[in-house]
Each structure stands twice: as structure tokens, then as C-alpha cells.
């Protein structure tokens, strides 16, 4: 399988529907739609992460519940797109 994340930026996306997703940004030109590759759903983040932006700054901890990656996700009604730090990106990429 080809690595489709090469050259793309990893971000954390929130939606009006309370969805929280991490993945590689493919397109962010439309205000209500963001397309992500290798996207994961954040089902739950633990208190030690310090909120949703902690997921973008330090990454998920062992107490977080993260869904499996999907090849491509179209997130609608996007409320924020936050760039990942290198520290956070390394943790996201290390998830099984």
C-alpha cells in the first residue's frame, strides 16, 4: 500500500457535530468541508491531555480512546483545523 501521507500536513479537525478527527490534510479550501487521509476518530480523550488542543500539541495518551484509521474522510461543518506539533504527530503515527 502506498503511503498517501507523504508531503501532507497532519492536523486535528473539529466539527459542528462534536466530531474530533486527526489526519493528514488533503484539501482545506472549502469552509464547510475538509478532506483527510489516514483519518482517526477521537472517541475519548483523558484529562491528562488537557483538552482537545492537547491532542494537537502533545498527542494522545494511554488513557485516550482513538478509532482505527480510514483511508479518506470528508469532514463536514468544520469548526476548526489545528496544526499538529511534531511531538503530537509522532504519537499519532505510533498508534496501532
CATH code, domain with 42: 2.30.30.100
How many CA atoms, within 13 angstroms, populate the side-chain half-sphere of residue 77?
A: 6
CA dihedral sign of residues 37, 76, 62, 54: positive
The H or E element containing residue 37 is: strand 33-44
59 is in which domain, residue-wise?
Answer: 10-84
In a domain, 4, yes or no: no
In a domain, 3, yes or no: no
Number of H helices, E strands in the chain: 2, 6
In a domain, 25, yes or no: yes
Q: How many domains does one find in the chain? A: 1
CA neighbor of 67 nearest in space, from 42, 44, 92: 42
Provide the residue-wise pLDDT of the chain in tens; the chain has 96 residues: 345 556 789 999 999 999 999 999 976 556 678 999 999 999 999 999 999 999 999 999 999 999 999 999 999 999 999 999 999 999 999 998
Amino acid at each position: 500500500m502506498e503511503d498517501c501521507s507523504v508531503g501532507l500536513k497532519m492536523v486535528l479537525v473539529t466539527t459542528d457535530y462534536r466530531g474530533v478527527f486527526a489526519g493528514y490534510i488533503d484539501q482545506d479550501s472549502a469552509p464547510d468541508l475538509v478532506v483527510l487521509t489516514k483519518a482517526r476518530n477521537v472517541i475519548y480523550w483523558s484529562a491528562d491531555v488537557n483538552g482537545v488542543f492537547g491532542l494537537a500539541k502533545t498527542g494522545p495518551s494511554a488513557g485516550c480512546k482513538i478509532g482505527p484509521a480510514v483511508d479518506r474522510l470528508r469532514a463536514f461543518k468544520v469548526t476548526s483545523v489545528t496544526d499538529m506539533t511534531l511531538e503530537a504527530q509522532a504519537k499519532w503515527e505510533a498508534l496501532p
